[in-house]
Structure 1
């Protein structure tokens, strides 16, 4: 007499086959529940999957290396006795960590240029050049949806990769953040590689490259022009970087030659300018009376010029986060303008 059991679907079979069919049904059900790309999203991902996966893989490898370096740094600091002992006394023992910071920072600063050239410029220019764009818009999908999907997927990959790298790099730098000898917070090595700035710079570079490709309609030409655009963007951004903060001015009236005459400013503050202050509130350049040969002659010269103290302008490190978000908001607004241009242009001239 054979033994029968009822399967989960209500059909009958022997015990062995019932187990197999139940397993297959369960596997099929689980597979059906997994999120899958479809339609235009699947098409765009498949078309650019090599670039997207390369970016994500490079991000994962970089994160793993930074995490390892952070562990090495913390072990060194604990063994050295920091912050009880100054890193200035470490000499060459800390040099390898300085070199690691410089190496990674240079790589992170190159990301906006690289992604702008190799991801942004060819994203749509390649389709316009080889005729793929005409084939896509000839289907049931609108060109607006095609363009939106392209920009959304590229933007998502950029935000995820640069956001993760920015967070991990800032976490690595945090134990020695106050040490100017490691990384000056006002320089691009720190300011452009932490917080929201890397995301904003890269998004603007990539979408700017997309706009250039849409207008020029030739991949190689778009990549060359995008390279120039991203380099100029970095230079202009660096030039106006310090104007994002609120300058703080401190003054003294105890003379300029005494031991404690110069006003104290916070550690790691960025000193913008220093001037002599007269009793009338006027500012004189620090080179005033520089030609005096002796301290007595210089003192007489300063007294004749009615100098009573110092005036110093500086930016404290506490403003760094606010400056980064203010600058990033400007870049995000410019990026939104580029996206608006792409949709306006795409309605009539994309194909």
Structure 2
């Protein structure tokens, strides 16, 4: 009589796939709709900008070096508006993230009362709040980083040095959009936690976001040291270098008093300035070489604002009732 011997079949070792767990999984589960919308929108917009960038390169390769009416019309009717409106969309993207992602992040839980469950669980308030902010911040940084890189690549053949100081160019390339988006999102989360109501928090975050964009645009000239070039008046050679950001133009009299062009309302301007005793002409500007310094300085400032807002939210959540 034979005996059947069963040998255990060799099974391949189980593969441990990376996955979220604990509070990170819960955060993703609760806000997966908003996160997925952000990711899908990023992939769609990134693919569209990639396609447009390839078309733009083909257009520049085929365009003649001299003026051509057909190519000029095609550029003005499609490529220029597409680049302009895409830049404007990226300019207000941090505002949209703050209103629709940051503000409801914590306000919705307080509004619905689900935040009170936190005090009944073994997870501390600090860990609960920090995880939510960290996961959201990661999604925001990745999405805006991809869009910024895609838009920068799209503009590359056109010349990133052209009008680089304009708000829709300065705030949508390099590290600036990532820092602005992170700051507005965490500011929205702080406002939402403080207000505790979703719709009012979104409205207040909208106003705060507009203020952030205004400050970022209005005071970006304070991020670096302006350079000055001067010469005898009138000297046509006294002008800012090519691709520089012209900030101010003023004149100096023999007594050292400064005169702005706006003080001469009569024409011609040269005669008016000569009558005032102007002997020197000066121009203040930011050189193209300062662009990266200005952008990274601005990004560092807004990142610090984001970190302060996030830390204040966590600190406040640990000390106030939910």
**Structure 2 length-normalised TM:** 0.90
C-alpha distance in 2, partners of 1:97/1:170? 15
- Residue equivalent to 1:51: 34
C-alpha distance in 2, partners of 1:143/1:294? 66
Show CA shifts across 1:132-187 (max 9, x none). 1222331111111111110010000000000111111111112112574xxx3222
Q: How does 1:104-253 map to 2 (within 5 A)?
A: 104-177=86-159, 180=162, 184-253=163-232
Kept after mapping to 2: 8 A contact 1:121/1:223:
yes
Kept after mapping to 2: 8 A contact 1:214/1:350:
no
Unaligned runs of 5+ in 2: none
Deviation at 1:332, TM superposition (A): 1.2
Give the 3 Å change call, closer, same or farther, for CA 29–263 of structure 1 in structure 2.
same
Identify the match of residue 291 of structure 2 among 320, 326, 331: 320
Q: Report the 3-state secondary structure (helix = DSSP H, G, I; strand = E; otherwise coil) of the residue aligned with 1:141.
A: coil
Show CA shifts across 1:69-102 (max 9, x none). 1111111111125xx6589996323211111111
Give the 3 Å change call, closer, same or farther, for CA 327–88 of structure 1 in structure 2.
farther
C-alpha distance in 2, partners of 1:318/1:72? 29
Q: Report the 3-state secondary structure (helix = DSSP H, G, I; strand = E; otherwise coil) of the residue aligned with 1:273.
A: strand
**Worse overlay, 52-61 or 227-236:** 227-236
C-alpha distance in 1, partners of 2:269/2:190? 63
Q: Report the 3-state secondary structure (helix = DSSP H, G, I; strand = E; otherwise coil) of the residue aligned with 2:266.
A: coil
- Residue equivalent to 1:77: 60
Deviation at 1:288, TM superposition (A): 6.5
- Residue equivalent to 1:93: 74
Give the 3 Å change call, closer, same or farther, for CA 112–304 of structure 1 in structure 2.
closer
- Residue equivalent to 2:260: 285
Give the 3 Å change call, closer, same or farther, for CA 49–289 of structure 1 in structure 2.
closer
Q: Report the 3-state secondary structure (helix = DSSP H, G, I; strand = E; otherwise coil) of the residue aligned with 1:261.
A: coil
- Residue equivalent to 2:279: 308
- Residue equivalent to 1:29: 14
Deviation at 1:106, TM superposition (A): 1.7
Q: Which structure would you say has the larger Rg?
A: 1
- Residue equivalent to 2:48: 65
Show CA shifts across 1:84-129 (max 9, x none). 6589996323211111111211211221111111111111111112
Give the 3 Å change call, closer, same or farther, for CA 137–261 of structure 1 in structure 2.
same
Kept after mapping to 2: 8 A contact 1:122/1:213:
yes
1:344 aligns with 2:315: yes
C-alpha distance in 1, partners of 2:269/2:139? 64
Q: Which has the higher contact order (CA 8 A, sep 6+)?
A: 2
1:273 aligns with 2:255: no
- Runs (4 or more) in structure 1 with deviation over 6 Å come to 86-89
C-alpha distance in 1, partners of 2:68/2:277? 41
Q: Report the 3-state secondary structure (helix = DSSP H, G, I; strand = E; otherwise coil) of the residue aligned with 1:348.
A: coil
Deviation at 1:304, TM superposition (A): 5.3
Kept after mapping to 2: 8 A contact 1:204/1:331:
yes
Give the 3 Å change call, closer, same or farther, for CA 115–87 of structure 1 in structure 2.
farther
Give the 3 Å change call, closer, same or farther, for CA 302–136 of structure 1 in structure 2.
closer
Show CA shifts across 1:261-292 (max 9, x none). 34142222121222334455543333576636
C-alpha distance in 1, partners of 2:266/2:113? 72
- Residue equivalent to 1:12: 7
Pairwise CA RMSD: 2.8
**Structure 1 length-normalised TM:** 0.83
